[in-house]
Structures are given as structure tokens and as C-alpha cells.
Amino acid sequence: MPFFQQLEDMSSFLDDVHTLDKLKNVLDPTILEQAFEHVGIATVRRRRLPLDAVMWSVIGMSLFRNETVWDIASRLDISLPGKNKLVAPSALVQARQRLGYEAVQHTFQLLAQKTFTTQAFEQWCGLNLLAVDGVSFRTQDNEENRNEFGSDRNQHGEGSYPQIRMCSLMEVSSHLLLDSCFDARRVGEMSLAQGLLPSVPDDSLTLFARGYFSLGLLHEWRKRGTNIHWMLPAKKDLQYQVERNISDNDKIVTLFTTPQARKKFTELPEQITARLITYKIDGKSYRVLSSLTDLMRYPYDELTEVYTQRWEIELGFREMKQGLHQSKYALRSKKPDMVSQELWGMLLAYNLIRIVMIDAIKEDEELTPIQLSFSLSLRHIIAFLITTPLQSASKLPMHYEELLHTLRMFILPNRLPDRKYPRVVRKKPQKYPYKRKMPVSS
């Protein structure tokens, strides 16, 4: 190969490096390399759309929800330079298929693990507060998605849109997702929650919804690592035996497991010790069951307030569906594998936004990430990705600091603790219109 041709190829490669510089400031390229090597798709072939560029196009599908994948590649300027700056739509489709969904999944998990271990989050009694809950997403209505994911059916046999059921583990003080598991709608949230076990960190308290009551799952959660605890509302028909009365509203109880549960969870003992507390809010009584049996370390007065943090994961789901997903009816991909890739890309995009918001509050100790507006932060981060000039890579840190300074101004107003939405019984729909009352003639 002629020397000048080698210089030209090297110059093109360096131009490509600068093209992705602003994206590398948000997502560490070494994480992408580890993910590609883990799933075995790393290649030395020089393509017009390299794997890291394809990864950003998948992330961009959530950041630019109303635009086509072809337009997203143009906005992010992620293709290699050449005669034709834009790539063909068919090339983007083939590139997504070459990337697959496992690389996006592993990138999400590596980024979440690295962020959680390197950042300092708010703690309660020395424990990181986590929450577990489930959510569903609709896919495009076609035969492949219906066979893969399934759908609801009514009494006439007519089905709705195919749905994916997802269960997530979230750090509540920042809304950072630590892990997610999703599958067909026929798979229950209890089964999906077991897939989150490898991502449960030590020194943590996980807040579950009432429907996750399973002594087998809770026991495995407790024994997963060091100082791992759980908490969830107690069922009305909870069967237990009082081991010790601490007070009228605080008890150490023994829960008895069933033979069926011990058959499913082989390490499940016949008895489990737990703590049952009762408290009142606005005259209504609540009961919460937990593994926090150390009375000195976890006093009753603090236990009555911590469970309210579980609702933070609901707000996180709202940010994903209404913020990133823009309340769209269904995911845009049509093939099951591409649906999984798009969903992992949305979770990755959500965490990237949250990580930038975490960076923004580091210089202000009085602020927390959830005090910043997610929607406004999302808009300005997208603007940073598409408008920041790249003439001088040395100025990128300065532009990024300006972005963080801007995000710190988007402080949400304090939540109203006394806001009430009284329950209203909806009027039952009638087959015939309501008859108007005739005026009485005098």
C-alpha cells in the first residue's frame, strides 16, 4: 500500500475519533469494548458503521423517539467520514442485527455496576435503599411478537398488543437502575425478580411491593450477600407466631414455610424470623414486614418512614415511559430480538441521563439527583449531544461543565405531602342513553 494511502486511512480514523468524542465523555469506551468482547462480536474490520457507533444509534432511538434510525445517525454524526456522509437505511438495519441485544444488555449492566460502586449515594442507617417493582411495555402488533411475548385476550378470544413484562431494581435516592429483567407477559414478576439477585449489593435494604411476598424469594434475597435486608407490606391474612413483643406496635415474629415452597427453594428453612411493625397515617393503620430484627440499629421510629421511599421506582417508570418514550403506544421495533435490543437501549439511555444528573449535583451537597427535573435535563443533554462543536476536543470538558451548571438550575418544587386525591366511584356504562327527566307541567 502506498505511503500516502496509509496516511489518508490514518487521517480518516483520527477524524472518526473526534466525531465521537462528545459521546465518549458520557459513556466510557472501555465499557463498550468489554461488552463487545463478552458477547464475542468485537471485530478488527474497519466498517463505515463501527460497533460503538451502532450502539449509540440504539441509544439514540430513545433519545430521539420521534425520528427514524437513519435520521438519528445523521443527528449524532456517528458514521465514518467518506464520500457519502450518511449511511443507507439498510446498512443501519444490518448493523443493528450484527450488534444484537446481548451487547446492549451487558453495556447497561457494566455501566450500572461501575456507577453504583464509584458514586456515593444517600443511605438510611448505613444501608443503600433499593426498590423492586414491575412494569409492562407494548410491542408492535405482528405474529412474531405475539408468538414470542404473548398478549391478553378477552372473552371473545380477541387479543390486544403483545406485551413485555419487566422487573427492575432501582436505587431510590438517584433513580439509577441497577439491573432489569424482562420476558414474555406470561412470566410473572416473582420469577423475573429472581433474575435480579446477582445485582443486589451488600449493605442494602430492598423495598418490595405487596405482591412480592414469597418466603423463598425473600430468603434468597437475604442470603445473597452481607447485610442485605428486605421490607414489604404484610398481608391481611398473614400467618405468624409472636416470638417477642417489643411494644404494642413492634414484634419479632416467626413465619412458617410450606412444603411446596421448600421444594421449589431447596435451601429454604421451615421457619424464618422477621419483624412486624404497625403504624398509623391519618388514622389508617398499616403493617410492614421486614428482616430488620436488630432493634438498636434499626429503631421503630425510623422504620415507619422508610417504606414510603418505595414509590420512587414508580416515578422512575414514569420518567421512562413519559419522558424517554414520550407516552408512545408501543416500542418501534418489529422483530423480537430488535425489540429486546431497543428496550435495553432505552434502559441504557435512561441511566446515562441519570448519571449526568448525578454528576451535576456533586458540587452542591444540599441537592439530590431526584430534585432535578428529568424532562428538562433530558432536553439539555440531547442538545449537548447534537450541538456541541467538535473543532477543538480540548474544549469538550468546558462544554460539559456548562451543561452540569445548567442542570443544577432545574430544581423541582418541594413535593406537597398533604396533597389528596379522593377516590371516586366511576359511573357504570349503560347500553342505552340516560333518559332525561321531563319537566313537571303546572
- My answer on whether 37 and 179 are in the same domain is no
- My answer on whether 16 and 82 are in the same domain is yes
- My answer on whether 91 and 131 are in the same domain is no
- My answer on whether 25 and 144 are in the same domain is no
- My answer on whether 13 and 68 are in the same domain is yes
Residue 211: CB atoms within 10 A of its CB come to 14
User: Per-residue pLDDT tens for 262-287?
Assistant: 999 999 999 999 999 998 887 888 99
pLDDT at 242 over 60: yes
Would you say residue 271 lies in a domain?
yes
Burial 101-123 (b: 16+ CB within 10 A, else e): bbbbbbbbbbbbeebbeeeebee
- My answer on whether 260 and 281 are in the same domain is yes
With the C-alpha atoms ordered 298, 301, 304, 305, is the resulting torsion angle positive or negative? negative
Q: Percent of the chain beyond pLDDT 70?
A: 83
Helix, strand, coil percentages, rounded to 5, for the chain:
45, 20, 40
Residue 94: CB atoms within 10 A of its CB come to 14
Highest mean pLDDT among 5-9, 92-96, 277-281: 277-281
- My answer on whether 31 and 150 are in the same domain is no
Would you say residue 426 lies in a domain?
no
Would you say residue 20 lies in a domain?
yes
Would you say residue 195 lies in a domain?
yes
Alpha carbons 162 and 149: distance in angstroms, whole number: 6
- My answer on whether 157 and 283 are in the same domain is yes
Q: If DSSP states are collapsed to H, E and C, what string results for 46-104?
A: CCCCCHHHHHHHHHHHHHCCCCCHHHHHHHHCCCCCCCCCCCCHHHHHHHHHHHCCHHH
- My answer on whether 32 and 181 are in the same domain is no
- My answer on whether 140 and 229 are in the same domain is yes
Contacts of 432 (CB under 8 A, 6+ apart): none
User: Per-residue pLDDT tens for 284-307?
Assistant: 889 999 999 999 999 998 888 899
Least confident of 28-32, 104-108, 115-119: 28-32
Q: What is the mean pLDDT of residues 180-188?
A: 93
Would you say residue 261 lies in a domain?
yes
> What range defines the domain where residue 64 resides?
3-99
**What integer pLDDT is reported at residue 302 of this predicted model?**
86
- My answer on whether 94 and 214 are in the same domain is no
- My answer on whether 34 and 147 are in the same domain is no
pLDDT at 41 over 90: no
Query: What DSSP assignment string belongs to 146-206?
Result: HHHH---B-TTS-B---EEEEEEEEETTTTEEEEEEEEETTS-HHHHHHTTGGGPPSSEEE
Residue 431: CB atoms within 10 A of its CB come to 4
CA angle 215, 187, 324 (to 5 degrees): 105
Which of 41, 67, 99 terminates a domain? The answer is 99
pLDDT at 88 over 80: no
Would you say residue 418 lies in a domain?
no
Written as nine digits, the cell of 12 is 480518516
Residue 181 has phi, psi (to 5 degrees) of: -135, 135
Q: Specify whether the CB–CB gap between 92 and 75 falls below 8 A.
A: no
User: Per-residue pLDDT tens for 197-207?
Assistant: 999 999 999 99
Which of 317, 342, 357 terminates a domain? The answer is 317
User: Per-residue pLDDT tens for 337-368?
Assistant: 999 999 999 999 999 999 999 999 988 878 88
Give how far Cα 195 sits from Cα of 70, 128, 181, 191, Å: 34, 20, 6, 7
Kindly report the pTM of this predicted structure. 0.86
Q: Specify whether the CB–CB gap between 232 and 209 falls below 8 A.
A: yes
Would you say residue 232 lies in a domain?
yes
Total domains in the fold of the chain: 2
pLDDT at 66 over 50: yes
Would you say residue 242 lies in a domain?
yes
Alpha carbons 203 and 227: distance in angstroms, whole number: 5
Which of 72, 99, 126 terminates a domain? The answer is 99
Alpha carbons 200 and 130: distance in angstroms, whole number: 9
